[in-house]
Amino acid sequence: MSVRSHERRGHGLPTPAIPICFRGATVALTTSTGVDWINRREAGRVNLLGVRIDGLSQAAIVEHVLGSLENGNGGWLITLNVDIMRRLFRNPVLRMLADRADLVVADGTPIVWACRILGSPVAERVAGADLVVALSEAAAPGRRSVFVLGGDPGVAEEAGHRLCAASPGLDFRGGYCPPWGFERSEQAMQGIIEALAQAAPDIVYCGLGFPKQERLILKLRELFPHTWFIGSGASHVFVAGQFPRAPRWMQRSGLEWLHRLWQEPERLFRRYLLDDAPFALWLLAGSLLCRCVPKDSRLSPARNRMRAPAGEDTDWPGDDVVPMGNGHNHNGNGSGSGNGNGKHRRAPGPTAVGRRFQAMPQWSPDDDA
C-alpha cells in the first residue's frame, strides 16, 4: 500500500465549534482546518481535532517505509499517543510542526476509539515499540542499517544489539545518547549530526520525547534526505529490556498506561492522571457528541481562543484583534468603524449564547517536559 508524502499545508484559524462540558466549563471542540467539525476522512487520512492521522496498519507502514527506501527517499514518522495529541490540540505551533511529518500514525488507544466513534476508523493501533521491532525484522533481509538515538546512557546500544539479535541481517550502525539540554547547545547538536553522518543509516529510531525529537528531526531531514526518522519516544526502554511491556490484554483494552504508571509513578503521575486521562475522556465524549448531533443543529462558526505557550517563536496570527480603519473594515466606505485611524480593536464577539461556548480548557505549558 503506497502512501503519498504529505505536502506542506497552510493553516487558517480554527473556526467551527461544538459545545462540550469539561471540568465544569462549557468548551468548544474545533478543527484547525475549518472543515467537517472534528473529523474528516481524506485520501486515507483522518482529521481529528485538526491533527491528520494516517489510518494505516502496521504492515502497510512497514511496506511504505521500505518501499520509500528502495526508491532512495527518506521520511519522518510520528507515533501519536494521547499525550502528544493533547499538546498538538492546545498548541497550534506544535500542530504545524507535526503537519510536516510524512506519516502520523495512531499509537494511543483512545485515539483509535475516537476515530471509530466518528465513523472513520483507522486500521489499528500502531504502538511505537511494536513498530520498531516489526520494521527492523522486515528490514533485516535487505541488510538495511539502523541507528538508535536517545534514551539513558547505554540504552540505545543495548536496544540496537537486541534488535540485531532478533533480526539477523540487520545492520546496527550505533547508538547515541545526547546530553541533557542538547537542543540549546550548538556543540551538542553538531555531535548528533556528526554521529549520523559517520553512521549513514537507512533508519533512525529517535527516542527523545515529544516535541524535542520532532524539532530535531525537522532539522535532520534536510541534512539526511535519504534516511527515515521514526519518532519512537519511550520505545527504546522496552526494546532494551529496561522496562517490560504491559500484558497483551492490557494493551488491547487501552490500559497499558496503568502499567507504565506503576513502573514510573513519580515521572508519569501528573502526565497520565492530571493531564492525559481527562483529555482522553473529553476527546471520547466529544467524538460521541459530534457523531450524534446532526450537522444542521451545530453551532455557527466561532473563533478558537487557543494560544501558543509564552515564548514560542511563531507567526501564528492573533485571533481576537482586527485592524480598524483605512479600508480594513467591511462597511464599504474605507473609513473604519467610527474611528478611521488605522488602530486596532478587539473583534466584536458573538452573541451571549455564543460566548459561553468559546472557553477552551487550559493545561500547563510543559511541552518540553
Tally Cβ neighbours within 10 Å of residue 181. 8
Average pLDDT value for residue range 266-287 = 93
How far apart, in whole angstroms, are the C-alpha atoms of residue 215 and residue 219?
7
Handedness of CA 357, 306, 365, 51 (dihedral sign): positive
Residue 178 to residue 153: CA distance in whole angstroms: 9
Crossing angle of helices 109-117 and 82-90, rounded to 10°: 70
Do 206 and 217 contact (CB within 8 A), yes or no? yes
Residue labelled with grid coordinates 482529521:
47
Return the pLDDT at 123: 93
Residue 170: is its pLDDT beyond 70?
A: yes
Least confident of 73-82, 125-134, 161-170, 348-357: 348-357
Which H or E element spans position 149? strand 145-150
pLDDT at 152: 84
What pLDDT is recorded for position 44?
73
Residue 286 near residue 29 (C-beta atoms within 8 A): yes
This model's pTM is above 0.85: no
Residue 230 vs residue 309, higher pLDDT: 230
pLDDT at residue 181 in the model: 87
Beta bridge partners of 39: 48
In the β-sheet with 75-80, what is the strand arrangement from edge to edge? Answer: 103-106, 75-80, 228-231, 203-207, 145-150, 171-176
Tell me the pLDDT of the chain averaged across its residues: 76
Domain limits of the chain?
19-291
| 285 has pLDDT over 70 | yes
* DSSP helix/strand/coil, 316: coil
Is residue 354 classed as helix, strand or coil in its secondary structure? helix
Give, in order, the Cα–Cα distances in Å from 287 to each of 91, 110, 281, 354. 20, 11, 10, 21
What local confidence, expressed as pLDDT, does residue 212 receive?
93
Q: Say if CB 343 and CB 325 are below 8 A apart.
A: yes
Give the per-residue pLDDT at 294.
61
pLDDT at residue 323, rounded to an integer: 34
* Torsion angles phi and psi, residue 240, rounded to 5: -80, -10
Around Cβ 269, how many Cβ atoms within 10 Å?
Answer: 11
Mean pLDDT of 284-290: 89
- 3-state helix/strand/coil string of 20-36: EEECCEEEEECCCCCCC
* pLDDT, tens digit (0-9, with 9 covering 90-100), for 311-360: 444 333 333 333 333 434 444 444 444 444 444 444 444 333 333 333 33
pLDDT for res 208: 92
In the predicted structure, residue 254 carries a pLDDT above the cut 80: yes
Ranking 142-151, 210-219, 232-241, 273-282 by mean pLDDT, the lowest is 232-241
**Model confidence pLDDT, tens digit, residues 184-240:** 889 999 999 999 999 999 999 999 999 999 999 999 999 999 999 999 988 888 998
**pLDDT value for 228:** 98
Report the alpha-carbon distance of residue 76 to residue 86 in Å, rounded: 20
